[in-house]
Structure 1
Amino acid sequence: MEAAIRQVGTYQERPKGTVRLNLSRAAATMGTLPRLGDFLATYPDGRLDLVIDDDLTDVVARGFDAGIRIDDQVSRDMVAVRVTPDFRMAVVGAPAYFEGRSSPQRPEELSKHRCLTYRWGDSGALFAWRFHGPDGPLVVDVDSVLTVNDTDLLRVAALQGAGLAFLAETAVAPHLAGGDLIRVLANWCAPIAGLHLYYASRSQMCAPEADIEPAGAVPPLSTPSGPSRPPLRMSVLEEGADLAAAATSSN
């Protein structure tokens, strides 16, 4: 977040302006909200416009300053800065769900269970249930009794005993600690790439022949429904990457 806000107000003593971030619900919960108070205290003239979006949105085409996703969802031509450590997924269900049912001991046994799945809204593809065992990675096809494009709804459905959900462990940690959810197959869930703040490189943001801004600056960004924002200089954003890295190491 520090890296993004330092884009705005480049020519002012204290950064100010609005930064538009496109991020998943998990990214907002894990990487943004825990730092929000400190962030706004550090940048009192800064404003955040957070758009919660669990799809794989093209942040450049949609006029966002940056996005936050897990590393393997970020295009390789974007500049990416880590904002959280790696984390694991968790297969969870309510105690009521397991009444009269045996817990799966291997991912293949999920075929005998009612599962709650996530579907990407843009592509229509289902979020894969990926595991890692003694013989390497594997993907399991599950019997989905409920498919949604909202991870909060998956969590609520799991809490109600509707079936097993596959969610980020940080999203369900309080429910596991309180006994509202039970985790299974924990040893089969390997760490996955942490969340990264990503933004367009200079080559994406400014065509070489464009000569409408001072050297080192990027043309103003605009949204389909709003006016242009102040020029953003990418060198300032790159300097802010050190702050994001420091924030990650301190958590």
Structure 2
Amino acid sequence: MIGGSLRDLNAFVVVASERSFTRAAARLGVSQSALSQTVRHLEERIGIRLLNRTTRNVSATEAGQRLLARVVPALEEIDLGIAQLGNLLDRPSGTIRISADEYAIHSVIWPALERFLTTFPEINIELSTDYGRTDLARGHFDVGVRRGNLVSKDMIAVRIAPDMPMAVVGAPSCLDGRARPKRPPDLSDYPCINLRLPTHGELLPWTFTKAGKDLRVTNPGRLVFTSIAQVRQACLAGFGLAYLPRDYVEPHIEAGELIEMLADCRKTFEGYHLYYPSRRQRPPALGALLETLRYHG
């Protein structure tokens, strides 16, 4: 009974992911009619419709979306447990290609990889810095790492980091003879150091939160970089204010090398998630990486 329920739930998850009984049936290796009957029996047992069906596509109902939010992580844990058992027989090996932005690599991935690479000497890692919504299949990546709100809904996503507060900071010399900005629009009166997103070619907007509302500000400045490391270096040298992850500059704030401003309207972004396209046939190396990076906070 339990096994049958798990199979039915997995069938429902695949149909909801593919948004098509035809594609889901091909993915599961069953007939479309058999798959449709499986999902219909699941709905009858639960007593509520889980999918909206039209001639063109299939979408989850509100009840279906709530069930997906519970079932997908549970199936992920089951797959992970099976993968861990397989690791006892088959030592994880091979190459994992990861697409992530610069700060994710600096703050989350590399600190974990230092331990991971020692534990799994037969696994190779290739890291590619990218700020865009990378197509993993087209880029030949195994996994991607992005902030949670940037991950496509059709991906399996696992949180690997806490939420990320941002900070406006400047060296004391940059503020000599100047009052500190009191509101985000005041930043237009200060030299600012901007980050140009290499993938998009646009400047990163400085986002603030006040009374539950977000405000985006684009500030002029003489310096524009494509690396947050260079932005921080120029900021420390006193060439302007910078908008950076607070954890990235916290040691410099504590040392008095940088001063944080506008902390009362600090924006906090959702934390990083590792994502990939399918739960099925996940290689042991990827399962080992996922368990190493998983956030337990």
Please indicate the TM-score interval, normalised by the length of the shorter structure: 0.7 to 0.9
Work out which of the residue numbers 25, 28, 39 in structure 1 matches 2:116.
39
- What secondary structure, in the 3-state scheme, does the structure 2 residue paired with 1:179 have? coil
How far does residue 238 in structure 1 lie from its aligned partner after superposition? Answer: 8.7
How far does residue 12 in structure 1 lie from its aligned partner after superposition? Answer: 5.8
Moved more, 173-182 or 33-42: 33-42
How far does residue 249 in structure 1 lie from its aligned partner after superposition? Answer: 1.8
How far does residue 166 in structure 1 lie from its aligned partner after superposition? Answer: 0.5
Counterpart in the other structure of 1:109: 186
Aligned pairs for 1:124-203 (under 5 A) are 124-134=201-211, 136-201=213-278
Whether the 8 Å CA contact 2:98–2:128 is kept in 1: the answer is: yes
Which structure shows the bigger proportion of residues in helix conformation? 2
Counterpart in the other structure of 2:158: 81
Unaligned ranges ≥5, structure 2: 1-79
Amino acid at match of 2:282: M
Amino acid at match of 1:248: Y
- What secondary structure, in the 3-state scheme, does the structure 2 residue paired with 1:143 have? coil
How far does residue 93 in structure 1 lie from its aligned partner after superposition? Answer: 0.7
Q: Could you tell me how far apart the structure 2 residues matched to 1:57 and 1:178 are?
A: 37
Aligned pairs for 1:35-74 (under 5 A) are 35-74=112-151
Task: Give the number of the structure with larger relative contact order, counting CA–CA contacts within 8 Å between residues 6 or more apart.
Answer: 1
Whether the 8 Å CA contact 2:116–2:292 is kept in 1: the answer is: no
Work out which of the residue numbers 268, 273, 282 in structure 2 matches 1:234.
282
Q: Could you tell me how far apart the structure 2 residues matched to 1:178 and 1:148 are?
A: 25
**Change in CA separation of 1:21 and 1:135 when aligned onto 2, cut-off 3 Å:** closer
CA deviation profile, 1:188-219 (whole Å, cap 9, x unmatched): 113210011111236xxxxxxxxxxxxx5xxx
Amino acid at match of 1:183: E
Moved more, 171-180 or 234-243: 234-243
How far does residue 135 in structure 1 lie from its aligned partner after superposition? Answer: 5.9
Q: Could you tell me how far apart the structure 1 residues matched to 2:268 and 2:230 are?
A: 24
Say if 2:165 is the partner of 1:118: no
Unaligned ranges ≥5, structure 1: 203-215, 217-232
Tell me which structure has the larger Cα radius of gyration: 2
Say if 2:102 is the partner of 1:25: yes
Q: Could you tell me how far apart the structure 1 residues matched to 2:154 and 2:212 are?
A: 32
Q: CA RMSD in A?
A: 2.8
Q: State the percentage of identical aligned residues.
A: 36
- What secondary structure, in the 3-state scheme, does the structure 2 residue paired with 1:33 have? helix
**Change in CA separation of 1:177 and 1:237 when aligned onto 2, cut-off 3 Å:** same
CA deviation profile, 1:228-250 (whole Å, cap 9, x unmatched): xxxxx2386896697257x4226
Q: Could you tell me how far apart the structure 2 residues matched to 1:235 and 1:85 are?
A: 26
**Change in CA separation of 1:118 and 1:125 when aligned onto 2, cut-off 3 Å:** same
Whether the 8 Å CA contact 1:54–1:149 is kept in 2: the answer is: no
CA deviation profile, 1:139-183 (whole Å, cap 9, x unmatched): 123123222211111111111111111011111122112221111
Say if 2:296 is the partner of 1:249: yes
